[in-house]
Amino acid sequence: MDLHNMPLLPCSSLSISIAKGLLNFFVYVRPCVCVCDSGLIGEGEVLLVDAVPHLWRPTKLFVFGDSSAATGNNVASLGSDSDICWHSPYGETFPGKPTARFSDGRVLTDFIAKFIAVKSPLAYKIRNAAGYYSKYGMNFAYGGHSRNEDSVYNTTDLFSSVALVTVSGDDNNYNYFNEGFVKDLKRIYDFGVKKILVTNLAPMGCLPRITSVFKSQNLLLQQAVAKLNSETESSSFIILDLYASFTPVFKNKADHLGSIKFKKPLKSCCVGQSDSDWCGRRYDMDGSPMYTVCERNSAFFWDDAHPSQQGWTAVYSNLQATLQQLY
Mean pLDDT to the nearest integer, 23-29: 28
Give the pLDDT score at 134. Answer: 66
Q: Are 110 and 121 in contact (CB under 8 A)?
A: no
The whole-model pTM stands at 0.78
Of the candidates 157, 168, 303, 317, the residue annotated as catalytic is 303
Percentage of residues in the chain with pLDDT exceeding 90?
45
Of the candidates 67, 82, 236, 268, the residue annotated as catalytic is 67
Mean pLDDT to the nearest integer, 88-98: 95
- Where are the domains positioned within the chain? 3-49, 60-250+304-326
One of 3.40.309.10, 3.40.50.1110, 3.20.20.370, 3.40.50.740 is the CATH number of 60-250+304-326, namely: 3.40.50.1110
Give the pLDDT score at 183. Answer: 94
Q: What is the pLDDT of residues 314-323, one digit of tens each?
A: 999 999 999 9
Separation CA 76–CA 81 (nearest Å):
10
Give the pLDDT score at 253. Answer: 61
Q: Measure Cα distances from 150 to 72, 125, 131, 147, 257 in Å.
A: 17, 12, 17, 10, 44
Q: What is the pLDDT of residues 214-272, one digit of tens each?
A: 889 999 999 999 999 999 999 999 999 999 999 888 887 655 545 688 888 889 999 99
317 assigned to active site: no
DSSP symbols for 167-191: ----SS-S--S-HHHHHHHHHHHHT
Higher pLDDT, 232 or 155: 232
Instruction: State the chain's mean pLDDT as an integer.
Output: 77
Give the pLDDT score at 318. Answer: 92
Which H or E run includes 317?
helix 309-323
Shortest CA distance to 78 belongs to which of 273, 280, 272?
280
67 assigned to active site: yes
Mean pLDDT to the nearest integer, 184-199: 94
68 assigned to active site: no
Separation CA 208–CA 86 (nearest Å):
35
Identify residue 311 by its one-letter amino acid code: G
Q: What is the pLDDT of residues 101-148, one digit of tens each?
A: 999 999 999 999 999 999 999 998 887 765 555 688 999 998 865 554
Separation CA 135–CA 112 (nearest Å):
16
Of the candidates 17, 161, 306, 308, the residue annotated as catalytic is 306
Q: Are 51 and 28 in contact (CB under 8 A)?
A: yes
Which H or E run includes 63?
strand 60-64
**At 308, is the secondary structure helix, strand, or coil?**
coil
Q: What is the pLDDT of residues 47-67, one digit of tens each?
A: 333 333 447 889 999 999 999
Higher pLDDT, 159 or 292: 292
Confidence band, pLDDT 50/70/90 cuts, at residue 16: very low
Give the pLDDT score at 74. Answer: 82
Shortest CA distance to 15 belongs to which of 45, 192, 40?
40
Q: Are 306 and 144 in contact (CB under 8 A)?
A: no
Separation CA 87–CA 31 (nearest Å):
60
Mean pLDDT to the nearest integer, 14-28: 29
Higher pLDDT, 146 or 100: 100
